[in-house]
Amino acid sequence: MKAFEPLVIRNLKLKNRLVMPPMCMYSCDRQDGRVGHFHLAHYGARAIGQVGLIIVEATGVTPEGRITDQCLGLWEEGQVAGMRELALHIKALGAVPALQLIHAGRKSQTRGLRHLAPSAIPYNNHPVDYEEMRQADIDAVVAGFGQAARRAHEAGFEGLELHGAHGYLIHQFLSPLSNRRQDAYGQDRALFLQQVVAAVDQHWPREKALWIRISATDWLEGGVTPADWVCWLQDLPRGMDLVHVSSGGLQRAPVHVYPGYMLPLARQIKEGTGLPVIGVGHLDEDQLLINALENGSCDLVALGRELLRQPNKALALARRLGQTGLVPAQYERAYKETL
């Protein structure tokens, strides 16, 4: 079964195809962007549970780039030590540690900081004063991505994901529904993404895997499409090693959600680019995720809410499939009747 087959992507040596996707925990109680006890326990539990790849939650490249004041950050050197401890913790417990970098743009809920956007278009009519980014703002955020990538490397993360999905800043520049600029960033909506990738490339080693999470569609007329992404991914200054295929999030949209509803998008991106993809989207049912891997819809499966409910989901799936040798020695007494 592919679910428990190893996979190598550049430097990543994954023991299985199960991924913990980045999910914000809003648990920086001091609002300083630093790793705390909760983060170590939270990610450590899923590593013990035998997830192959753990992508740590959206980490702000600037203070105002966080989704909330309680989110992780990597905009200053003082945040590196905690991130290093977290990466080592995940790795020591058997999973591959990766990190997602973000600037939330107009979806930021930080207090007392500027709310930047490509264009001053409200998000779902929220009563916030949005600022259209000036060139100096754009340059600062691009540089922030580069420096955060450097810090992530110094902290020991083995993979890096750029958050280009769910209506955050990269996505905001890409979609014509949120980018109405009249300058170069409006004429070529992928320019900001290209500059971010170029900045990251200067600081994130070529031998380490780099990828992006995308919203393959806005689910809205006139918005981003999978065909757009196929073109954009082929025109980056550094090629991506993987694509994490999600959808939506730019603004409210009529979406018919059902188990596996985003798998067709993952297949479109995979076939259009030739790149391996992570599939996501209510893949909680065992047979659904097994089929998604076996039929080639995706190369890895991300289990978000399911891993919040069941940190040992991988062990439960292994038991169903008759896979042996996965249970940590400390837990064997609970499984020796079945594995």
The CATH number of residue 308's host domain is 3.20.20.70
Q: What is the pLDDT of residue 129?
A: 80
Tokens of 94: 């058997």
Secondary structure element (H or E) that encloses residue 174, with its range: helix 169-174
Domain annotation covers residue 51: yes
> Which residues fall within 8 angstroms of residue 28, CB to CB, at 6 or more apart?
34, 36, 69, 70, 71, 72, 73
Helix (H), strand (E), coil (C) string for 102-161: ECCHHHCCCCCCCEEECCCCCCCCCCCCEEECCHHHHHHHHHHHHHHHHHHHHHCCCEEE
Q: How would you class 23 by CB atoms within 10 Å of its CB: exposed for 0-12, middle for 13-18, buried for 19 or more?
A: middle
Domain total in the chain? 1
Q: Global pTM? A: 0.97
Query: By C-alpha distance, which of 228, 226, 212 is closest to 267?
Result: 226
> Which residues fall within 8 angstroms of residue 221, CB to CB, at 6 or more apart?
none
Q: What is the pLDDT of residue 335?
A: 84
pLDDT in tens, the chain (339 residues): 899 999 999 999 999 999 999 999 999 999 999 999 999 999 999 999 999 999 999 999 999 999 999 999 999 999 999 999 999 999 999 999 999 999 999 999 999 999 999 999 988 877 678 899 999 999 999 999 999 999 999 999 999 999 999 999 999 999 999 999 999 999 999 999 999 999 999 999 999 999 999 999 999 999 999 999 999 999 999 999 999 999 999 999 999 999 999 999 999 999 999 999 999 999 999 999 999 999 999 999 999 999 999 999 999 999 999 998 899 999 999 887 655
Q: How would you class 129 by CB atoms within 10 Å of its CB: exposed for 0-12, middle for 13-18, buried for 19 or more?
A: exposed
- C-alpha pair distances (Å), 324 with each of 4, 156, 207, 306: 10, 30, 32, 22
Domain annotation covers residue 225: yes
Q: What is the pLDDT of residue 124?
A: 83
Domain annotation covers residue 104: yes
Task: Give the distance, in angstroms, between the CA of residue 318 and the centroid of all CA atoms in the same chain.
Answer: 25
Domain annotation covers residue 339: no
Domain annotation covers residue 215: yes
Q: What is the pLDDT of residue 337?
A: 64
State the residue range of the domain holding 46: 2-334
Residue 202: how many CA atoms within 13 Å on its side-chain side?
12
Domain annotation covers residue 320: yes
